[in-house]
């Protein structure tokens, strides 16, 4: 009926990129399951799927009291040994009965939240995308956060990240229909995404949302670093020093659509037209490169003086 | 997925052979052993007719009456160690034979904690998805981290709380899926001390059920393969394979369903086992394999795990 | 970095000084946050002049978070939500400044359990991801807040943590400050109980003197010679006392002079208060600025 999820994205708390061999220790959240990894075009590793039981009210634009019971699917992933994501989603369906069944019933349907009683999909979707007060309803973002936290707690990490950064929150809903995407940048760290795709829902849609969240985070983080560098306001060496972590850590991570299923590639492309992620990224990168080049030149001139 | 074609570990899940039913003929604890061989003989005498009933019922359900029924017997070597395999196993086999029972497989309880280097109990622990009390929105860390697992909401704990606030009042615990009244169950899964972790008897028994249902995998592989023992039983439990195949013509150890014939003193343990099992999320791929195998045989399996487990209490 | 602000006695200037340190650090371009762990009196919003949190927040603050009722405590962006124009004008290059208030009507905790400790650890670790400086204002004296902080930092050995013990320049305060650190069930005792190394913990504790009268300053010009020499004598005694109690110059991170504005009102001292309206003293801001630098300056924290 309705599929909705939230991806949280942040910086892995380590001074350097983590090594390929460390991914198993960091993302191995389930005994007996290996972390899946792909190396091209960028190292990407993802934990096994994990379930969390919930029994609570679902968000609703009309403030209807909707009770849902079931499980949330979550996973953690690391891109480029640097960027950490926690991602959770549920499939909301109408339950067959109006009372709560034994738990084994829900466990037999992983990732499904059954509504006890009447429910309207669009109402829940709109309520979800509105980012209501935290803690009142099903809180997919906090579940994702928890799966980031367990990774950050890993003893493998030294907790000396090259810079401070915020976690972004991207909420998405997916439904079947004429293919399209609609991305909005909300207040602070909040973003929403509406995806319509052809045919049945598949986890490839989740990959798309995670990839978009990743690139939105890269862009947001780079923008903050550039703003805070006070180009033109601070001294040249100061500006260079403030831009350095961005250059070392982030610039090579931009690979939009790298892990997207071909059937969804068109959706990424439409996002490249509006809002035009890569365009903005490119212009930021050029600005940084120019700045560093100018600063280096100035430095050379001074030393040759 | 294009990019995952080069993924190091595209998941490969092994599937194993399955009987129709795995019948557990008994559990042997220290106190049974101390009670002497007569107790065992009496137990087997009581079990025999039930096994016969099971056999007949499955024969009538399978084409050509070719029911695959395997029997097993569990010895505790985890909570207390007594006697030796070379002394004990022949005694058990004799007592069974006197009642025309064939024990196909013999297992050590400690195998449910760890077998052949695989920490089975840990595999199951990580797959626990606790039954959420109403109001669970997903952000609290799972409650079973404390080593306890319940089927509902516990009574609130008095004691903490802020100064000058109304004190916490006692409230009854409730079962999540209650119909009218509650039967609240809270199971201790393990306890930790300086010597490490000790898994509880119900937790190991839950692992035992999952093993018999063939639902556990370690990195896609089937853990614990039954092994035949040649040339007599060893004098130390550690040298006995976790699961021993005693009967060379036995049908597979694991099965679509299980039946345990147990003394009524195990009733509480088994209630705890079911409480645990109803909160274990088995790998979807493994469940699918089992389902497709069974439907190939025109067999309808119960959807929920706990419904594939049955008992006879004597 | 985690910085814990503590004092044995109430009303020492702990909140006002640590708030101003946070403000200075933000102006220096760092991302900072301020946590109200003074559970019995969650009023830190007042210093930042955030009227929605002057007596704590109603939207779910530190109390409810630690009790496990909400997934995360409310955050207030001081730059946008302060009622003071001088604060709302965020200078270019300044860092984030976020307040995490307590709950309105929240009280001191009677105890804490393992779950609360886990939540506290998780909170600190999460904030460390985002902020350069996490200032935690603890209740005065031996409190559950301090106990919780010691237990939590013991579980976060990879996150640098420092302790500022605030005290006034009086006999009673000097003795009390020392007692809070080294006395029975003091910071060191409790820290060790939770797995801290005693010597390592000592190295992370520094003292800050508040509302100090500088004898050389013009404030004393009107004093009679007899009064002046009496004050000098007292000051000398206090210095001796401080050294004997391990609260002397070597363990002092800095001192804040008595400021007329702060004496009348708990507030952040903006540059405008000094250069514009001239109501506050430049020495006060200088002291805050200096402290803001020293708390992260490793040379000020070398082992003694
Ligand atoms: N440098 C200073 N000069 C003059 N007055 C000061 C100075 N620092 C703080 N004060 C004043 O001292 C009083 C106590 O300060 P503050 O509230 O910060 O103390 P506190 O230690 O946090 O107290 P509590 O234990 O009640 O929380 C306030 O009125 C404050 O304005
Ligand atoms: Mg205070």
Give pLDDT tens digits for C223-252. 888 988 898 999 999 999 999 999 998 899
- pLDDT at residue B8, as a whole number: 46
Q: pLDDT for A34-80, tens place per residue?
A: 999 998 889 999 999 999 999 999 999 999 999 999 999 999 999 99
Task: Answer whether C256 contacts ligand 1 (Cβ < 6 A).
Answer: yes
- State pTM to two decimals: 0.93
Of C174, C183, C129, nearest to C156 (Cα)? C129
Local structure of residue C51 (DSSP, 8 states): G
Average pLDDT over residues A221-234: 88
For the record, the structure tokens of A209 come out as 């949302």
Residue B98 lies in a domain: yes
Say whether both B24 and B60 belong to one domain: yes
Is the domain of B156 the same as that of B73?
A: no
pLDDT tens track for A69-116:
999 999 999 999 999 999 999 999 999 999 999 999 999 999 999 999
Structure confidence at residue A199 (pLDDT): 87
How far away, in angstroms, is C140 Cα from ligand 2 center? 8
pLDDT of A135 strictly over 70: no
Given this model, what pLDDT does residue B169 score?
Answer: 75
Contact A234 C59 (CB under 8 A): no
Residues B117 and B228 in one domain: yes
Residue A303 corresponds to which tokens in the numbers above? 């030393």
Q: What percent of chain A has pLDDT over 70?
A: 99
**What is d(CA C302, CA C304) in angstroms, rounded to the nearest whole number?**
6
Q: Report the alpha-carbon distance of residue A220 to residue B269 in Å, rounded.
A: 54
User: Do B174 and B201 fall into the same domain?
Assistant: no
Torsion sign, CA atoms C82, C87, C88, C91: negative
Claim to verify: residue B221 and residue B173 sit in the same structural domain: no
* Beta-strand pair B105-108/B69-75: parallel
**C259 CA closest ligand 1 atom index:** 3
The predicted structure's pLDDT at residue C178: 95
pLDDT in tens, B108-129: 999 999 999 999 999 999 999 9
Residue B8 lies in a domain: no
Q: Which parts of chain C register pLDDT below 50?
A: none
Quick count: other Cβ atoms within 10 Å of Cβ B67?
Answer: 19
Q: What's the Rg (C-alpha) of chain B?
A: 21
The pLDDT, as a whole number, for residue B1 is 35
Contact A167 C31 (CB under 8 A): no
Q: C299 CA to chain A: closest CA distance, Å?
A: 19
A119: left (phi over 0), alpha (psi -120 to 50) or beta: beta
Same domain, B212 and B296: yes
User: Each residue of A169-180: pLDDT tens digit?
Assistant: 999 999 999 999
Rounded to 10°, the helix C114-130/A140-152 angle is: 80
* B88 and B207 within one domain: yes
Calculate how far, in angstroms, residue C44's C-alpha sits from the geometric centre of ligand 2: 7
Contact B25, B44 (CB under 8 A): yes
Determine, for residues B177 and A101 on separate chains, whether the beta-carbon distance falls below 8 Å: yes
All residues of chain B having their beta carbon less than 8 Å from the beta carbon of residue C118 are 141
Question: What's the confidence (pLDDT) of residue B3?
Answer: 38
For CA atoms B77, B81, B86, B87, the dihedral sign is negative
Contacts of B165 in chain C (CB under 8 A): 107
Nearest residue of B to residue C111 by CA position? B160
A94 Cα: distance to centroid of ligand 2 (angstroms): 52
At the top level of CATH, the class of C2-296 is: alpha beta
State mean pLDDT over A285-301: 87
Assign A299 a pLDDT band (cuts: 50, 70, 90). Answer: confident
Q: Enumerate residues 9 to 48 of chain A having a beta carbon within 8 A of any beta carbon in chain C.
A: 10-11, 13
Q: Is A69–B129 a contact, with Cβ atoms under 8 angstroms apart?
A: no
Q: Is C11 in the pocket of ligand 1 (CB under 6 A)?
A: yes
Query: Of B127, B27, B146, which is closest to residue B78 (Cα–Cα)?
Result: B27
Domain tally, chain B: 2
Alpha carbon distances (Å) from B146 to B125, B149, B187, B202, C69 = 12, 8, 11, 16, 18
Q: Is the dihedral of CA C197, C202, C203, C206 positive or negative?
A: positive
Question: Which of A92, A107, A206 would best serve as a mutation to test chain B binding (most B beta carbons within 10 A)?
Answer: A107
| Mean local confidence (pLDDT), B246-265 | 95
**Alpha carbon separation from B56 to B53, B66, B67 (Å, rounded):** 5, 10, 9
Give the Cα separation of B195 and B193 in Å (integer): 5
Containing domain of residue B245, as a range?
13-127+190-313
Indicate if B55 and B22 belong to the same structural domain: yes
Q: Is the reported ipTM for this assembly greater than 0.95?
A: no
Could you tell me how many helices (H) and strands (E) chain A has, helices first? 8, 10
CA dist A289 and A244 (Å) reads 10
Q: Are B267 and B313 in contact (CB under 8 A)?
A: yes
Residue C16 alpha carbon, nearest atom of ligand 1:
18
Tell me whether residues B139 and A262 touch, CB distance under 8 A: no
Contact C109 B163 (CB under 8 A): yes
Check if C210 has its Cβ closer than 6 Å to any atom of ligand 1: yes
* The predicted structure's pLDDT at residue C117: 94
CB atoms within 10 A of CB C287: 25
pLDDT reported for residue A237: 87
């Amino acid at each position: 009926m309705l599929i909705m999820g939230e991806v949280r994205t942040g910086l892995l708390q380590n001074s350097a990129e983590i090594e390929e061999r460390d991914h198993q220790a960091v993302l191995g959240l389930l005994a007996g399951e290996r972390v899946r990894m792909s190396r091209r075009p960028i190292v990407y590793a993802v934990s096994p799927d994990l379930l969390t039981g919930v029994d609570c009210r679902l968000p609703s634009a009309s403030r209807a009291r909707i009770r849902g019971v079931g499980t949330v699917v979550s996973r953690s992933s690391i891109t480029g040994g640097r960027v950490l994501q926690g991602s959770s989603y549920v499939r909301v369906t109408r339950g067959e009965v109006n009372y709560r069944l034994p738990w084994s019933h829900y466990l037999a349907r992983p990732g499904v939240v059954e509504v006890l009683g009447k429910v309207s999909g669009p109402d829940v979707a709109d309520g979800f995308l509105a980012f209501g007060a935290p803690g009142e309803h099903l809180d997919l973002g906090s579940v994702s956060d928890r799966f980031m936290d367990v990774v950050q707690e890993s003893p493998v990490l030294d907790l000396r990240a090259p810079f401070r950064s915020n976690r972004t929150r991207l909420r998405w809903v997916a439904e079947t229909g004429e293919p399209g995407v609609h991305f909005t940048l909300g207040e602070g760290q909040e973003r929403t995404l509406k995806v319509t795709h052809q045919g049945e829902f598949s986890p490839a849609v989740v990959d798309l949302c995670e990839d978009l969240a990743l690139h939105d985070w890269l862009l947001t983080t780079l923008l903050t670093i550039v703003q805070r560098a006070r180009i033109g306001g601070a001294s040249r060496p100061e500006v260079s020093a403030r831009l350095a972590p961005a250059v070392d850590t982030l610039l090579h991570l931009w690979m939009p659509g790298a892990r997207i299923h071909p059937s969804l590639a068109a959706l990424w492309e439409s996002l490249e037209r509006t809002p035009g992620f890569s365009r903005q990224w490119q212009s930021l990168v050029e600005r940084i490169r120019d700045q560093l080049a100018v600063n280096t030149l100035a430095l050379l001139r001074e030393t040759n003086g | 997925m294009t990019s995952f074609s080069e993924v190091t570990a595209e998941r490969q899940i092994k599937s194993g052979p399955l009987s129709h039913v795995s019948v557990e003929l008994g559990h042997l604890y220290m106190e049974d052993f101390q009670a002497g061989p007569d107790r065992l003989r009496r137990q087997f005498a009581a079990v025999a007719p039930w096994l016969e009933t099971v056999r007949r019922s499955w024969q009538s359900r399978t084409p050509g009456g070719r029911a695959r029924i395997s029997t097993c017997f569990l010895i505790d070597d985890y909570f207390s160690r007594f006697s030796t395999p070379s002394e004990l196993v022949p005694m058990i086999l004799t007592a069974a034979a006197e009642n025309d029972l064939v024990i196909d497989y013999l297992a050590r309880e400690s195998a449910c904690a760890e077998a052949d280097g695989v920490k089975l109990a840990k595999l199951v622990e990580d797959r626990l998805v606790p039954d959420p009390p109403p109001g669970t929105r997903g952000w609290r860390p799972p409650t079973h981290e404390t080593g306890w697992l319940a089927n509902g909401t516990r009574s609130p704990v008095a004691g903490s709380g802020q100064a000058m606030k109304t004190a916490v009042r006692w409230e009854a615990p409730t079962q999540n899926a209650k119909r009218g009244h509650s039967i609240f169950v809270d199971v201790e899964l393990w306890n930790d001390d300086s010597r490490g972790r000790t898994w509880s008897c119900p937790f190991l028994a839950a692992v035992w059920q999952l093993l018999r249902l063939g639902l556990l995998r370690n990195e896609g592989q089937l853990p614990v393969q039954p092994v035949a023992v040649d040339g007599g039983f060893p004098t130390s439990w550690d040298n006995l394979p976790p699961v021993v195949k005693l009967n060379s013509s036995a049908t597979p150890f694991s099965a679509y369903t299980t039946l345990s014939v147990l003394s009524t003193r195990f009733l509480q343990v088994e209630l705890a086992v079911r409480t645990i099992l109803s909160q274990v999320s088995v790998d979807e791929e493994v469940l699918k394999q089992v389902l497709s195998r069974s439907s190939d045989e025109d067999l309808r399996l119960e959807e929920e795990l706990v419904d594939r487990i049955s008992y006879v209490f004597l | 970095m985690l910085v814990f602000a503590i004092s044995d006695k109430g009303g020492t200037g702990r909140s006002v000084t640590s708030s101003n340190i946070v403000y200075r650090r933000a102006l220096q371009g760092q991302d900072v946050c301020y946590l109200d762990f003074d559970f019995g009196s969650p009023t830190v919003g007042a210093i930042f002049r955030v009227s929605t949190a002057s007596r704590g927040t109603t939207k779910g603050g530190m109390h409810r978070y630690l009790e496990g009722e909400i997934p995360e405590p409310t955050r207030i962006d001081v730059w946008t939500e302060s009622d003071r124009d001088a604060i709302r004008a965020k200078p270019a290059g300044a860092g984030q400044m976020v307040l995490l208030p307590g709950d309105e009507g929240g009280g001191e905790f009677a105890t804490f359990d393992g779950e609360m400790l886990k939540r506290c650890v998780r909170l600190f670790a999460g904030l460390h991801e985002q902020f350069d400086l996490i200032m935690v204002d603890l209740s005065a004296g031996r409190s559950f807040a301090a106990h919780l902080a010691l237990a939590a930092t013991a579980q976060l050995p990879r996150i640098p943590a420092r302790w500022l013990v605030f005290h006034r320049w009086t006999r009673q305060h000097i003795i009390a400050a020392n007692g809070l650190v080294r006395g029975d069930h003091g910071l060191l005792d409790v820290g060790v109980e939770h797995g801290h190394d005693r010597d390592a913990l000592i190295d992370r504790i520094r003292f800050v003197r508040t509302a100090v009268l500088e004898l050389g300053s013009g404030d004393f010009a009107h004093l009679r010679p007899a009064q002046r020499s009496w004050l000098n004598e007292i000051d000398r005694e206090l210095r001796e006392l401080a050294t004997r109690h391990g609260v002397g110059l070597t363990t002092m991170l800095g001192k804040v002079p008595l400021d007329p504005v702060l004496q009348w009102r708990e507030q952040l001292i903006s540059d405008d208060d000094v250069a514009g309206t001239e109501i506050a003293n430049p020495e006060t801001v200088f002291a805050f600025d200096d402290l803001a630098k020293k708390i992260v300056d490793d040379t000020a924290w070398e082992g003694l």
